[in-house]
Amino acid sequence: MADLGIPQNTIALLQKYNFNFQKKYGQNFLIDTTVLERIMEAAQINSEDCVLEIGPGIGTMTQYLAEKAGKVVAVEIDKALIPILEETLSQYDNVTIINDDILKLDLEKLAEEKNGGRPVKVVANLPYYITTPIIMGLFESGVPLKSITVMVQREVAERMQVGPGTKDYGALSLAVQFYAEPQIVANVPPNCFIPRPKVGSAVIRLTRYSEPPVEVEDADKMFAIIRASFNQRRKTLVNGLVNAAHLNISRERVLSALEEMGLSTSVRGEALTLEQFARLSNLL
């Protein structure tokens, strides 16, 4: 099968099937072999690996993955792409295509069925409109994971990687950094896709920690505190937490926890590190 990373091959295939791009599904197909090689290198796929690919499109990256991995499971929502995938992946017997919505699938069950519950690697050029629910769903679903190597909007990749004191720092940064070590491995311009997205893209690898990097007694509570502190970005941390009725924390308790941590009463949530949020959560 012709390499679909070469633009002419992708264009010919799309014409053959008279394919119409669905904007609502965030369809921007990769047409750059250098970028595809770079993703493979970052994901470090070998024949022992079972790879979950989210949104295979016409199978461009799936072909690269199938060459390297033991097994590939590719989940695609658009049923118009299934006959195309059947053609482009026909020479591989290690690929399973599932026509479903990634956000509705039981991924833990899928990993059990396809990989005997052993950790899988996720590799994808993600549909950008659901980047955060996909990443958070993967971490929170209990699916055993080694790493996630994904193409995302450049700004979102930066948000996942930054620390306190930067404008992009927020709940997503803290959640990602609780579960994994993030590293941006490539910046990718719009001309590497068809059609071209309006935003710049980046490939980021998230390597799952075997143990969280901080000690926290109740992670759900810590994330509720994090969300409340970033919900009202311009407010002080104290007001953010006291105003979040569902947390049910009094001003006195927050003030005394901040004092114990040596933090000012006017500190904002965006100044706290993950360690400090963990400590605050334990104190509260």
Which one among 45, 55, 65, 241 touches ligand SAM, defined by CB under 6 A? 55
- Contacts with ligand SAM in 253-282 (CB under 6 A)? none
Contacts of 227-234 with C-beta under 8 Å, sequence gap 24+, read: 227/171, 229/268, 229/269, 229/270, 229/272, 229/277, 230/170, 230/171, 230/269, 230/270, 233/268, 233/269, 233/270
Least Å distance between CB 125 and ligand SAM? 3
Under rule CB under 6 A, residue 32 binds ligand SAM:
no
Strand-by-strand arrangement of the 201-208 sheet: 95-99, 71-76, 50-54, 120-125, 145-153, 201-208, 180-188
5 forms part of the interface with ligand SAM (CB under 6 A)? no
Q: Is residue 25 near ligand SAM by the rule CB under 6 A? A: yes
Chain centroid offset of residue 235 CA = 29
Long-range (24+ apart) CB contacts under 8 A made by 264-269 are 265/236, 265/238, 266/236, 266/238, 267/236, 267/237, 268/229, 268/233, 268/235, 268/236, 268/237, 269/226, 269/229, 269/230, 269/233, 269/237, 269/240
From the CB of 24, what's the least distance to ligand SAM, in Å? 8
Please give the Cα distance from 170 to 160 (Å, whole number). 9
Quickly list H helices, 69-130: 82-88, 107-115
Residue type present at position 254: V
Stretch that binds ligand SAM, among 69-77, 83-91, 225-233, 240-248 (CB under 6 A): 69-77
Total number of residues binding ligand SAM (CB under 6 A)?
Answer: 23
Near ligand SAM in 129-148, by CB under 6 A: 130
Is 78 a binding residue for ligand SAM by CB under 6 A? The answer is yes
Among 103, 255, 261, 283, binds ligand SAM (CB under 6 A): 103
Q: Residues 60, 147, 153, 177: which binds ligand SAM (CB under 6 A)?
A: 60
Q: Which is nearer to ligand SAM, 54 or 274 (CB)?
A: 54
Binds ligand SAM by CB under 6 A, chosen from 13, 30, 72, 280: 30
Q: Does 101 bind ligand SAM (CB under 6 A)?
A: yes
The H or E element that residue 152 is part of is strand 145-153
Contact with ligand SAM (CB under 6 A) among 13, 52, 65, 75: 75
Q: With binding defined as CB under 6 A, does residue 102 bind ligand SAM?
A: yes
Minimum CB distance to ligand SAM, residue 78 (Å)? 4
Q: Does 64 bind ligand SAM (CB under 6 A)?
A: no
Which residues contact ligand SAM by CB under 6 A?
25-30, 54-57, 60-61, 75-78, 81, 101-103, 125, 127, 130
